[in-house]
Amino acid sequence: MFNSWDKNDPKDAQVILEMLRRGTYQRYVDPQIAGHHDLQELAKTYHQVSRARTKVQHSLINHSLPLYIPEMHHYWCTTRNEWFVRFLLEFPTPTHVPSRTSTKSTRAIRRDPASAC
């Protein structure tokens, strides 16, 4: 009964009448008067920051890293985000990457041999 997606659906009048018959209604709460406005703004800001951070993280992990670091395919079984964080902690700048051999780099990044593929 309440699953209509069309704004001008002919069932709207029936739904309103049924809600009035049952005595169900939605109470409007003004966030300014109730004192929830600041909390709502904080939650919305946090949501936007989280979405932006996730978008950047996914673009780095899915597009940039496979192009510039092809050996990352060894770590697809592990959580890529954990791998990426460990990689950035171990090699904060591009000049740190060639300073180690491949075996040392792999051991330094992996740290947990049980999590490897």
pLDDT digits (tens, 9 = 90+) for 22-33: 988 778 888 888
Give the C-alpha distances (Å, rounded to integers) separating 15 from 5, 6, 8, 19, 55. Answer: 13, 13, 12, 6, 40
Confidence check: pLDDT of 3 > 70: no
Average of per-residue pLDDT values in the chain:
74
Residue type, 45: T
Cβ atoms 116, 110 nearer than 8 A: yes
Contact of 85 with 66, CB cutoff 8 Å: no
Choose among 116, 114, 96: nearest CA to 106. Answer: 116
What one-letter code names the amino acid at 37? H
pLDDT: is 113 or 63 the higher one? 63
pLDDT of residue 89: 73
pLDDT digits (tens, 9 = 90+) for 51-79: 998 888 778 777 777 777 777 666 655 66
Tell whether pTM > 0.85: no
What integer pLDDT is reported at residue 25 of this predicted model?
A: 79
Q: Are 62 and 68 in contact (CB under 8 A)?
A: no
- Looking at residue 24, its pLDDT comes to 85
> Do the Cβ atoms of 75 and 110 come closer than 8 Å?
yes
From the CA atom positions of the chain, what is the Rg in Å? 26
pLDDT digits (tens, 9 = 90+) for 36-56: 889 999 999 999 998 998 888
- The helices-and-strands tally (H runs, E runs) of the chain is 6, 0
